[in-house]
Amino acid sequence: MTRLALAFATGLPKPAGPTVVIYPNSQFDLVDLVNVQIVHPFHPINRVWSDRNLKTTVMLPAAHYDLAVVCCTRSKKQTADLIAQAAHCADIVVVDGQKTDGVESHYKALRKQLDVNGTITKAHGRLFWFAGTDLGHMRSKLQVVDGFTTQAGVFSVGSIDDGSELLVQSLPKDMVGNIADLGAGWGYLSSKILGCEAVTNIDLVEANHIALECAKLNVADQRANFHWADATQWVGCYDAVVMNPPFHTGRVGDIDLGRSFIAVAARILRSKGALYMVANRHLPYEIFLNQCFGKVVEQPGDARFKLFHATRPKRK
């Protein structure tokens, strides 16, 4: 029995009206709830819930709910912001998460501010609930660093990623044509590439809707196009691909995620196109790069990151 199911069995009132579930993973147990709205900004997970014929959105709608369920994220500030949003629009707020995602810190903080009506501990996690109230002081704000806007819940929030900065320094100064930025984040790579006048178009492909909205603020150029999409499924035809691919699924390292980005790059590049990529030094991408490209050159990196320039994409 999941924590939510156990909570309903031991005192949490089951809602008669609408319920919103905020940032659930694809295995989250909805416990036969009806009239459910799913909120998730990550394209692949949003798509999973949509394919199950549930209503989905990327942001919490301005509506009233009998129950809001907030699933903790890896970002403490983001989770606190989601709790505050939920408390503003729901009669009862449930917070659920693993200890590794900081649920205990949220539980302890909220117990000092309000009455927690119930709690369940199970499977290395905690669930607790309380009545909706004003928690506006917990809302997060946009962060600006070196002129770039970021927000809690995005990769490299509040700072320029060292790997991306290293990649920018290694890029040719005369990039031309149609460019794809796979996993574009909040737009740092694209903003720098658009300094090349011969670039005619750049597609920023990003699965995190929050990051993409930041990118729209950071990349003010008519040549930029913004796509909320799963980069591992992207199609197109490009003169160059740039990327700093993710290598985690949640907290779990996933080397296949980076490999899938490489495979897409090889598929969408023109025959004379080039891939420019940065990766953490411990990640063994070399063999797969050579399987996907006829020529792979490792450029000078540093102790933490390695840089690759790959050409002659192989058509499988």
3-state per-residue secondary structure call for 23-69? CCCCCCCCCCCCCEEEECCEHHHHHHHHHCCCEEECCCCCCCEEEEE
Q: Which of 295, 226, 300, 238 is nearest to 264 (CA)?
A: 238
What pLDDT is recorded for position 170?
A: 96
Taking the C-alpha atoms of residue 16 and residue 266, their distance in angstroms, rounded to an integer, is 51
Question: pLDDT-derived band of residue 251, with 50, 70 and 90 as boundaries?
Answer: low
What is the average per-residue pLDDT within 77-102? 98
Q: Which of 175, 308, 182 is nearest to 235 (CA)?
A: 182
Taking the C-alpha atoms of residue 111 and residue 196, their distance in angstroms, rounded to an integer, is 53
Answer yes or no: is pLDDT of 248 > 70. no
Q: Which of 215, 216, 218, 178 is nearest to 199 (CA)?
A: 178
Answer yes or no: is pLDDT of 139 > 80. yes
Question: pLDDT-derived band of residue 315, with 50, 70 and 90 as boundaries?
Answer: confident
What is the average per-residue pLDDT within 242-256? 74
What pLDDT is recorded for position 316?
A: 65
At residue 298, the 3 state secondary structure works out as strand
Answer yes or no: is pLDDT of 253 > 90. no
Is residue 85 within 8 A of residue 93, CB to CB? The reply is no
Question: pLDDT-derived band of residue 254, with 50, 70 and 90 as boundaries?
Answer: confident
DSSP 14: P
Q: Mean of the per-residue pLDDT values for the chain?
A: 95
pLDDT tens digits for range 146-204: 999 999 999 999 899 999 999 999 999 999 999 999 999 999 999 999 999 999 999 99
What pLDDT is recorded for position 246?
A: 85
What pLDDT is recorded for position 250?
A: 53
